[in-house]
Amino acid sequence: MKESAMSPTGDDIPFQKAEYDRRIATVKREMQRREIDTLLISEPSNICYLTGYEASSFYVFQVLVVHRDLEFPVYAGRFMDAVSVRRMTHLPPDAIRAYTDDYVQSTERDPVDFLVAQLREVCPTLESVGVETGAYYYSARTHMKLIKSLPDTRFVDAELMVNWIRIRKSPQEIEVMREAGAISDAMIRDAVDAASPKMRECDLAAVVYNRMIAGTSELGGVYASSPPYILTGSRTGEPHAPWTDRVIGTGTPINVETSACRRRYHAPISRTIFLGSPPDSYIRLADAVVEGIEAALELIRPGVTCAEVERVWRGMIARHGLHKESRLGYSIGIGFPPSWGERTASIRSSDQTVLEEGMAFHMMPGLWLGDVGVTITQSFVVTESGREDLTKYPRHLVIKP
Amino acid sequence: MKESAMSPTGDDIPFQKAEYDRRIATVKREMQRREIDTLLISEPSNICYLTGYEASSFYVFQVLVVHRDLEFPVYAGRFMDAVSVRRMTHLPPDAIRAYTDDYVQSTERDPVDFLVAQLREVCPTLESVGVETGAYYYSARTHMKLIKSLPDTRFVDAELMVNWIRIRKSPQEIEVMREAGAISDAMIRDAVDAASPKMRECDLAAVVYNRMIAGTSELGGVYASSPPYILTGSRTGEPHAPWTDRVIGTGTPINVETSACRRRYHAPISRTIFLGSPPDSYIRLADAVVEGIEAALELIRPGVTCAEVERVWRGMIARHGLHKESRLGYSIGIGFPPSWGERTASIRSSDQTVLEEGMAFHMMPGLWLGDVGVTITQSFVVTESGREDLTKYPRHLVIKP
């Protein structure tokens, strides 16, 4: 932690005020460009990006208000969480507005009414309000009610607006992602050490979780936005099913897809561990994946497009008669449940996003072929002239005879 | 697992087809009452309730369609998850409709278009379509697009409709909640055994996670819908902040709020562990909470209202000069991130829900007083004549000198 803009590890607010001021200024410039005077942010990752707030209160109504003419954003949320907002952000007390508990999951009171009252009180104008129409925690009901409550306001769809600003990470953010990457590596090392045929799947998952949360002796972890995916046998053909109580058995691949998390920043990693002696066909499958990912990673540098990266991968695995229907990767950074992806750029043939320094991706060449699968992946940041890998675990099929 | 309607532990589908048929029939009766011919279910807990599907695919677009005149519900989701739906549900192949990956987080294709095409193909009528306008995974954008795409359809707000049906659990469901409760008890026992002044908060969190996932030797666990909340010192006054890398220290309360999870069913529990010798004022605070919860639990039986239960609690703690602003509890059962609450009945003064056999609650008398807090809670099911506790850990402040 050499960066002066970074608070010491374990502090309540991850970054110094200047870092948040810079982010807010960028958002305000984009608001001006889109002629939005008031931005209502519902996505927890975006709230965290602009304030540092990372408590798990997003299951109830909360909004961060950014107004063109106000120095500070204003947080509106549940009273019992206001104390965490005070501790975990640089917001002044007056910028934290709390509703009482009888607004929570109630048929009598609606927190949207509370929000509207706050907006009328603190916002100098409400001419054009930007809302995140695709955010997980901005409901259809909230949107309809807001439109009704502010009849003279023009609503602008600001879906993913802050997410696209988040895509370029600052040096401070990259440092935290490196920390997450170090724990992710340890999670895979622990899984490889522990995996054995007589173990239940849930016990292997517990090993992975233990490291995710305990972290290392220097760096503790928090829960990732998504559970680890741990699938064995024929179920390696499925990406998102839960582990079970079953004993793993021998002669089987185990897909482990997971991520550590520091201050809500992620650095995901997947490896396949084969218990026993893999058939030649399976080794060839894994080799093809490794050949493909190595070629695609070679290409990473500013100026290249996501589509170009995917094309290289596609060409390499086609030589082996393979085809991957799903995207090859996605942008990563801050994440809250249900996902650690930023929902912006994807590494796929239709995505013309040009790579820039500071962008971070999880290159995810998982092949899930219905009855078998393999996943060997790499998280990285685009640097001035190439890339920096966020995890260091070697990219190959791990065979445990 | 004596119930004949329950599949053996670890099986791919938690319950037999008859159990799902019964649930679907109940939903269809309610649809008829509300004059809904087609119900679009977005809430993962409701999808799981009606099919058994529990993979973590809800971060992308998925909908379960229940039509008045169709025998089976129809799942519409991402192609890579269709294989899990086939394995984890009784749905026939034709009732599983999968969109290709270029619909995922794309600016070119919208999965709502895919859904509408499926609806036109499979639904005999689309006169009145029910949607869950407050569900976490039904976005404002989806709602607006659906309305535009189906101009001749009447939209009905079916928010929480299935949730209110879920509130009464079957004997099979209660059995799974007992299993979750057994693991929840073990989580608290482990936390009490492990907690020590020289430990980092994250290491205590890892102990709790390890048991959540490993479960017991008979029953494995899966990840709960919400992370454990583990707060120490002055931060016991906050309910939802993350644990940190800090060493716990001595002379401090530790609030542990958590839940185990089996087949997505939860049985939450909270206890406060005090390291060292608590001041008399703190012991009095904990005693008041215990007195209050015991009195409120005494009252639980069919016919009593949530408001009446809360009134007893309120009266008891008022004797000690205490007041709890937040609700005393909430309905529990199936949960997916971000919450294990069902979002229906709350134990609070304004909730006139009448308790019925099979309803399950987490009575949550947490006091978060800004700079200090205590939580000693109880999950229970309402029985024919009283209640059954889902966790057995004694209800008192745990002092570890």
pLDDT greater than 70 at residue A321: yes
pLDDT greater than 70 at residue B9: no
Using only C-alpha atoms, what is the Rg of chain A? Answer: 22
Tens of pLDDT along B305-328? 999 999 999 999 999 999 888 899
For the record, the structure tokens of A117 come out as 């009252």
Domain shared by A281 and A252, yes or no = yes
Domain shared by B237 and B385, yes or no = yes
| Model pLDDT, residue B8 | 36
pLDDT greater than 60 at residue B100: yes
Domain shared by B158 and B212, yes or no = no
User: Which of B202, B219, B339 is facing A245, going by the closest CB pair?
Assistant: B219
Please, which pLDDT band fits residue B369 given cuts at 50, 70 and 90?
confident
Minimum Cα–Cα distance from B146: chain A residue: A140
For residue A266, what are the contacts with CB-CB under 8 A and spacing of at least 6? A177, A180, A224, A225, A259, A260, A332, A333, A334, A335, A340, A379
Give the three-class secondary structure for A290.
Answer: helix
Across the interface, whether the CB atoms of A135 and B135 are under 8 A apart is answered no
Domain shared by B121 and B229, yes or no = no
Domain shared by A136 and A281, yes or no = no
Across the interface, whether the CB atoms of B143 and A138 are under 8 A apart is answered no
| Model pLDDT, residue B308 | 98
Kindly list the strands in the beta sheet with B128-131, ordered across the sheet, starting from the edge strand earlier in the chain. B96-99, B74-78, B63-67, B38-41, B128-131, B154-157
Helix axes A44-51, A17-33, angle to 10 degrees: 120
The whole domain housing B178 covers: 171-400
Cβ–Cβ under 8 Å, residues B393 and B271: yes
Strand partners, B6: B15
Expressed in angstroms, the distance from the first to the final Cα of chain B is 40
> What is the average pLDDT across A308-337?
94
Please, which pLDDT band fits residue A241 given cuts at 50, 70 and 90?
very high
In a domain, A98, yes or no: yes
CA atoms within 13 A on the CB side of A191: 36
Q: Which amino acid is at A372?
A: V
Domain shared by A203 and A152, yes or no = no
What is d(CA A46, CA A31) in angstroms, rounded to the nearest whole number? 14
Transcribe B307-339 into DSSP letters: HHHHHHHHHHHHTTT----S-SEEEEEEEETTE
What is d(CA A244, CA B12) in angstroms, rounded to the nearest whole number? 9
pLDDT greater than 70 at residue A10: no
DSSP structure class, residue A95: G
Q: Are strands A252-262 and A229-232 parallel, antiparallel or unpaired?
A: antiparallel
In a domain, B11, yes or no: no
The strand ranges marked E within A202-286 are: 229-232, 252-262, 265-275
pLDDT greater than 60 at residue A5: no
Centre a 10 Å sphere on the Cβ of residue A10 and count the other Cβ atoms it contains: 15
**Which residues of chain B are within 8 Å of residue A344 when distances are taken between CB atoms?**
105
Disruptive mutation site among B81, B84, B203 for chain A (greatest number of A CBs within 10 Å): B84
DSSP structure class, residue B272: E
CATH code (residue A352): 3.90.230.10
Minimum Cα–Cα distance from B137: chain A residue: A136
Domain shared by B141 and B251, yes or no = no
Domain shared by B179 and B325, yes or no = yes
Tokens 């966790």 locate to B391
| Model pLDDT, residue B7 | 41
> What is the average pLDDT across A42-59?
97
Interface size A-B, in CB pairs within 8 Å, comes to: 242
What is d(CA A371, CA A253) in angstroms, rounded to the nearest whole number? 11
Cβ–Cβ under 8 Å, residues B76 and B115: yes
Cβ–Cβ under 8 Å, residues B325 and B339: no
Q: Are strands A74-78 and A96-99 parallel, antiparallel or unpaired?
A: parallel
Domain shared by B197 and B162, yes or no = no
Please, which pLDDT band fits residue B2 given cuts at 50, 70 and 90?
very low
What is d(CA B229, CA B266) in angstroms, rounded to the nearest whole number? 15
What is d(CA A45, CA A52) in angstroms, rounded to the nearest whole number? 9
Domain shared by B321 and B240, yes or no = yes
Domain shared by B160 and B236, yes or no = no
What is d(CA A254, CA B106) in angstroms, rounded to the nearest whole number? 30
Of B166, B190, B224, the residue that ends a domain is: B166
For residue B378, what are the contacts with CB-CB under 8 A and spacing of at least 6? B269, B293, B297, B362, B363, B389, B391, B395
pLDDT greater than 90 at residue A3: no
In a domain, A1, yes or no: no
Task: Look at chain A and count its residues.
Answer: 401
Of B140, B166, B192, the residue that ends a domain is: B166
CATH code (residue B68): 3.40.350.10
In a domain, B361, yes or no: yes
Give the three-class secondary structure for B48.
Answer: helix
In a domain, A128, yes or no: yes
Domain shared by A232 and A128, yes or no = no
Q: Are strands B74-78 and A252-262 parallel, antiparallel or unpaired?
A: unpaired
DSSP structure class, residue A37: S
pLDDT greater than 70 at residue A7: no
Of B149, B166, B183, the residue that ends a domain is: B166
What is d(CA B401, CA B391) in angstroms, rounded to the nearest whole number? 25
| Model pLDDT, residue A1 | 30
Minimum Cα–Cα distance from A367: chain B residue: B80
What is d(CA A392, CA A271) in angstroms, rounded to the nearest whole number? 12
For residue B216, what are the contacts with CB-CB under 8 A and spacing of at least 6? B182, B183, B186
Across the interface, whether the CB atoms of A241 and B213 are under 8 A apart is answered no
pLDDT greater than 50 at residue B60: yes
ipTM above 0.90, yes or no: yes
* Structural domain count of chain B: 2
Cβ–Cβ under 8 Å, residues A324 and A288: no
